[in-house]
Structure 1
């Protein structure tokens, strides 16, 4: 059975827990501290607190980009050998004028540099929570695009996605995270400007 630790209990962390539940994975959800969470506790999840040991083979950092350094500082070498899934979009939320990472880099690349003994995969950053919870986007199965340098790590993430009844697409190496984060920026900006709905998202048609 696949096991997954999700750091963060906000909308995206809860939505990815829904994905993992449909895939019949063992789920650990880590709260910021005891008693704090955005959703009602569920029966199919093992709850823990930030700093507790991670039980999952897959580790999702489902926190805002600004909180990632704290996650990495707490866990550091304990992420060695794990598949670390970065879902973040490093957006300048004050102005919505661009990304806060250098043009040649990405949030995922920063994480990979910080935890070189983990296999970092970019995924879920262009998916809004609703489309993950329902598994449907615009009448089609939700598409999750992944990028990473470790083939086995990408397969593990894609298997989870497909076991949850959604479509997984391999975008190539982790350097493609730059384009995925640009897509995430565009999608969030459009929704923030009410050009699209927060329940919408990009879809690939074949």
Structure 2
């Protein structure tokens, strides 16, 4: 848990805490029309779906076999797939994604070397996606979380915090509210430019877990 690193990256922005039971119940009553479409059926997709449904949202999944042909019904789309799979999803659904919020959870690692990112220096996967989807509101979220810490809601004794970045304040607020309703803390980590740092944190976390220096039930927690 590296409080100093997170403070340097994100400053003193307020963490939005998980809702109380009363607040969650009220949110569920008002959130019945929110529908998420998640591309992916893996551990991360399942864990994220669990958070959102707990908060009252409706979630549908699109698996890899149907990713090119399935209709997107959600107003918010989550790309819970490996980064190399993103381009084919965009190619098949660019028109459908226009006007929607698109949440990128990817960490664009070079999985052959596990020692670098595959996006241009200074850029990010999310920035590349936003450039390809100029009519969508593209956010980065969940890339610094492991599936286990999303499912349990804990990193050690600390409530799991989801870091969210992007240029659309309303889209960020809506996602943060839904994450809070699902029982987790969330933090507006800044603009699309800050995704570069988020992906660096995600990269570091994955390499540490891959080398068994931290566990897949561990990670970085935000002490507030």
Could you state the TM-score of these two structures normalised by the residue count of structure 2? Answer: 0.83
Q: Secondary structure at the match of 1:204?
A: coil
1:36-75 matches, within 5 Å, as 50-75=68-93
Does 2:144 align with 1:112? no
Offset from partner CA, 1:143-178 (integer Å, 9 cap, x none): 000001001110111011101110010111011110
Question: 1:13 is matched with which residue: 22, 42, 45?
Answer: 45
Could you state the TM-score of these two structures normalised by the residue count of structure 1? Answer: 0.90
Does 2:140 align with 1:126? no
1:197 and 1:139 map into 2 onto residues whose CA distance is 15
The CA deviation at 1:50 is 4.5
Count the aligned residue pairs: 192
Question: 1:185 is matched with which residue: 203, 206, 214?
Answer: 203
CA-based RMSD of the aligned residues comes to 1.1
Contact 2:166 2:190 in 1 (8 A): yes
| Partner in structure 1 of residue 35 of structure 2 | 3
Superposed structure 1 runs of 4+ greater than 3 Å apart: none
Does 2:220 align with 1:202? yes
1:117 and 1:77 map into 2 onto residues whose CA distance is 9
Does 2:103 align with 1:85? yes
The CA deviation at 1:51 is 2.4
Contact 2:158 2:222 in 1 (8 A): no
Contact 2:161 2:221 in 1 (8 A): yes
Instruction: Flag the structure with higher helix content.
Output: 2
Query: Which structure exhibits the higher relative contact order, with contacts defined as CA atoms closer than 8 Å and separated by 6 or more residues?
Result: 2
Which blocks of at least 5 consecutive residues in structure 2 are unaligned? 1-31
Contact 1:59 1:83 in 2 (8 A): yes
The CA deviation at 1:77 is 1.4
The CA deviation at 1:138 is 1.2
2:121 and 2:161 map into 1 onto residues whose CA distance is 26
Does 2:174 align with 1:156? yes
